[in-house]
Copies of this chain bind each other. A is one copy, B any other.
Amino acid sequence: MKIGIVGLGVIGGSFAEALQSAGYQNIYGIDHNQETLDTAVNMGIIKEGFLTGDSILPELDLTIMALYPKTAVKFIQANHDFFKDGSILMDTTGIKETFMAEMATVLPENIEVVYTHPMAGRENRGIAYAQGSVFQGANFLITPTEANHEDTLKKIEGLATEIGFGKVNRVSASFHDQMISFTSQLPHAIAISLMNSDHEKRETGKFTGDSYPELTRIAKINEDLWSELFIDNKTYLLQSIQDFEIQLNLIKEAIKTDDREQLKALFRRSTANRLKLEAGMDERKRKK
């Protein structure tokens, strides 16, 4: 099986490394940056690199596309006629509903696309930060379409498990986007707002324990990618922000009115919710 990876950034590069570690030999890279391709060849994670898709796409049985949403659509438009008949295109973008609708208008008819979301992003970008181990035990989501065949989905699920993903699940595109707005985009919006609400010229680093550094790690953010994700998922993200604000307002009101019992009730609830989340995390680890 010949596998191509389009976009050798931190995600694409990690896929190349994970596949190579899992024993796959024929992995090819497509990237607009020659230096990135050379690096990937030197790292031994791709066999050969290509600046365009025309010569290699016709040979690929599986094409893994690790591009920003808008770039992904443009890539398909530019390479519409080059895909191998009956080959699989695996998408990895972090939003689905609007993106899949846009993709549907440009996809060639001779391939089957599987929409996935490997939940292992990193705040650093570029192949230098690629490492297959980030997928170990991570969540892998598939948002199937009516055009998908069961054996194709099984093949991709098998591949995900083979390269180390923990839980592999199928969900609807809309539920995916709703959940992702809560577990991924909202935390980023929060981290950015926390970081930006610091006052100028305070030596904040003198006053930090673990909480502030931990809650702001993801405030270092790829602005090109995430501005797309935020706006493309605006409906769900605005709802998740609102849900969060309702809870923050409960804390504010309790503080204002010295309502210690209400604060304690909110803290007990968050503690219970967190313990429930941790129990699931342990379960995932046990399954590894």
Interface residues of A (CB under 8 A from B): 119-121, 138-139, 141, 167, 169, 171, 176, 179-180, 182-184, 186-199, 202-224, 226-228, 230-231, 234, 237-238, 240-241, 243-248, 250-252, 254-256, 258, 260, 263-264, 266-271, 273-275, 277-278, 280-281, 284
Contact = CB atoms under 8 A, between A and B. Distances in A.
Interface of A is mostly: helix
Contact of A252 (B216, B241, B274): B241
A255 B277 contact: no
A255 B196 CA distance: 17
A222 to B, nearest CB: 8
A266 B41 CA distance: 36
A245 B223 CA distance: 21
Q: Please state the number of chain copies in the assembly.
A: 2
A114 B207 CA distance: 18
A211 B216 contact: no
A169 B206 contact: yes
A193 B244 contact: yes
Contact of A255 (B230, B244, B255, B274): B230
16 contacts: A119-B207, A120-B210, A179-B204, A182-B212, A187-B194, A193-B248, A197-B240, A205-B281, A208-B277, A213-B277, A220-B274, A227-B264, A228-B260, A230-B263, A231-B260, A234-B258
A27 to B, nearest CB: 24
A230 B250 CA distance: 13
User: Considering residues A202, A221, A230, A270, which has the most beta carbons from chain B within 10 angstroms of its beta carbon?
Assistant: A270
Contacts of A264: 223-224, 227
Nearest to A280: B205
A268 B226 CA distance: 11
A121 B212 CA distance: 12
A-B complex: 7 closest residue pairs judged by Cβ atoms:
A205-B280, A223-B267, A193-B247, A179-B207, A119-B209, A187-B211, A219-B270
Contacts of A270: 191-192, 195-196, 216, 219-221
Contact of A227 (B120, B213, B214, B260): B260
A224 B207 CA distance: 23
